[in-house]
Amino acid sequence: MISLGIECTAHTLSIGIVKDGTALSNVIDTYSGGKEGLIPRKLADHHASVFAEVLEKSVASARVSIEDIDIVSFSQGPGIGSPLSVGIAGAKYLALMHGKELVGVNHCFAHVKISEHLCKMRDPLVLYLSGGNTQILLADHDGYYNILGETLDIGIGNLFDNFARAIHMENAHGSALAKLAEGGKYVELPYSVKGMNLVFSGLLTAAEKAAKNKKIPQRDTKKDVAFSLMETAFAMTCEVTERALFLTKKRDLVLCGGVAQNRRLQQMLESMCDEDGIRFGVAPDEFNRDNGAMIAYAGSLLYKRYGALPIEKCVPITNYRIDRMKEILG
Ligand SMILES: [Fe+2]
């Protein structure tokens, strides 16, 4: 089966093509909001303006023609309404124009499934970390995911982006913050874990205050606070993950989502797993950032189980939590 997947939940418009579990192409175009952040109307404009080019490149690099494609999969949510609408309109156009069936995909499910597939792990505990999401997930006997623990306020990626914006970084993004944090020294910040849940907003406020503290002029305060913010957030995340591993008695852990690309986090989880005798897996960066190939892959799994989605149901579900899949599809 050849599935074309469209990712459009937030800053990224991506189209990937997957054949029987192998990514033939994965063309990604990400809008950078810079200092002003993600403005919904600008995301929608970006996706509309690059859609045709991304599609053309994706089909060309997969060396297929539109006629060869069996299904058109698209991100249905969670996400921001305006960019989702553009991606879904593109999916409907392609499907109607070329006589293809449509499949709506939960964005989080796609991150999880492509990572399980690439790490060759069946039924692991999953740690899913991105801008808006921070969740520990476990599938039930029917393959539906339950959330064992999650952030009670902001996602870990948004924590980093918000702090980067507060200290006026040109590129207010977690990856740029990680660069700034290199070589920083630890300063104490609040650590807030509640069972298997996390709270980040107090940490953000304290970090913003600490970054303005110029008491020790010879030190690079922003660097030290950036380092300490990331170390603290990752340590909190490791703690709740370890608790979930012991509770569920799982022997495999998969890390996925945009923040999964952070090398320091990978290193911390890997050493935790080594100590506990747990197998640790993380997919290559290309499949952890928002990408169309993961939507195409997850779309093919959903199509096999549920068939196509009727066109009248192809609408954005902005608050589509992964634990609503049973209610929506079942
Ligand atoms: Fe994502």
The string of DSSP letters for 172-216 reads -SHHHHHHHHTT---------EETTEE--HHHHHHHHHHHT--SS
- Per-residue model confidence (pLDDT) at position 122: 95
Tell me which amino acid residue 102 is. Answer: L
- Cβ neighbors of 102 (< 8 A, separation 6 or more) are 71, 72, 73, 74, 91, 92, 95, 308, 309, 311, 314
129 Cα to the center of ligand 1, angstroms: 8
CA-nearest of 115, 29, 25, 17 to 67 is: 17
Q: Is the model more confident about 32 or about 75? A: 75
- Do residue 95 and residue 165 come from a single domain? no
**Could you list which residues have their CB under 5 Å from ion ligand 1?**
130, 290
Regarding whether 87 and 133 lie in a shared domain, the answer is no
215 alpha carbon – ligand 1 mean position (Å): 39
Using CA atoms, how far apart are residues 156 and 162, in angstroms rounded to an integer? 10
* Domain match, 252 and 151 both: yes
Q: What number is the average pLDDT over the span 201-226?
A: 87
Distance 78 CA to ligand 1 centre (A): 9
- Kindly give the pairing relationship between strand 193-194 and strand 71-77: unpaired
How confident is residue 220, by pLDDT bands cut at 50, 70 and 90? confident
Q: Is the pLDDT of residue 217 over 70?
A: no
CA of 220 to the centre of ligand 1 (A): 32
In a domain, 323, yes or no: yes
d(CA 130, ligand 1 centre) in Å: 6
Whole-number Å distance, alpha carbon 102 to ligand 1 midpoint, is 21
The domain tally of the chain equals 2
- Let me know whether 103 and 146 are in one domain: no
Ligand 1 centre from 259 Cα, in Å?
Answer: 9
Question: Which run of H or of E encompasses 35?
Answer: none
- Asked, for residue 117, whether it belongs to a domain, the answer is no
- Counting residues of the chain whose pLDDT is more than 70, the rounded percentage is 98
* 51 in a structural domain: yes
The verdict on 152 and 263 lying in the same domain is yes
Q: 212 C-alpha to center of ligand 1: Å? A: 31
Confidence of residue 49 (pLDDT cuts 50, 70, 90): very high
Distance 108 CA to ligand 1 centre (A): 7
Domain that holds residue 74: 2-111+287-329
Instruction: Report whether pLDDT(216) > 70.
Output: no
How far is ligand 1, taken at its centre, from the CA of residue 286, in Å? 12
What are the residues whose beta carbons fall under 8 Å from the beta carbon of 175, sequence distance 6 or more? Answer: 261, 262
Residue 218 is predicted with a pLDDT of 61
Q: Is residue 74 part of a domain?
A: yes
Distance 257 CA to ligand 1 centre (A): 5
CA 213 / ligand 1 centre spacing (Å): 34
Measure Cα distances from 132 to 63, 108, 157 in Å.
34, 11, 7
Interval 276-291: pLDDT, tens: 999 999 999 999 999 9
Q: How many CB atoms lie within 10 A of CB 249?
A: 7
Distance 111 CA to ligand 1 centre (A): 7
- The alpha carbon of 221 is separated from its chain's Cα centroid by a whole number of angstroms, namely 30
Shared domain check, 49 and 189: no
Does 272 lie in the same domain as 132? yes
- Residue 244 shares a structural domain with residue 140: yes
Q: Give the CATH number of the domain where residue 304 resides.
A: 3.30.420.40
Taking the centre of ligand 1 as the mean of its atom positions, its distance from the CA of residue 9, in whole angstroms, is 8
The sign of the CA dihedral 284, 162, 200, 225 is: positive
Q: How confident is the model at residue 270 (pLDDT cuts 50, 70, 90)?
A: very high
N residues, the chain: 330
Task: Say yes or no: 275 and 296 in one domain.
Answer: no
pTM, 2 dp:
0.96
CB contact set of 5 (below 8 Å; sequence gap of 6+):
15, 16, 17, 18, 73, 74, 75, 105, 110, 292, 293, 294, 295, 296, 297, 298, 299
Q: Mean pLDDT in the chain?
A: 96
The tens digit of pLDDT for each residue in 67-120 reads 999 999 999 999 999 999 999 999 999 999 999 999 999 999 999 999 999 999
Q: What is the DSSP letter of 143?
A: S
CA gap 23, 18 in Å, rounded: 4
Whether 49 and 150 map to the same domain: the answer is: no
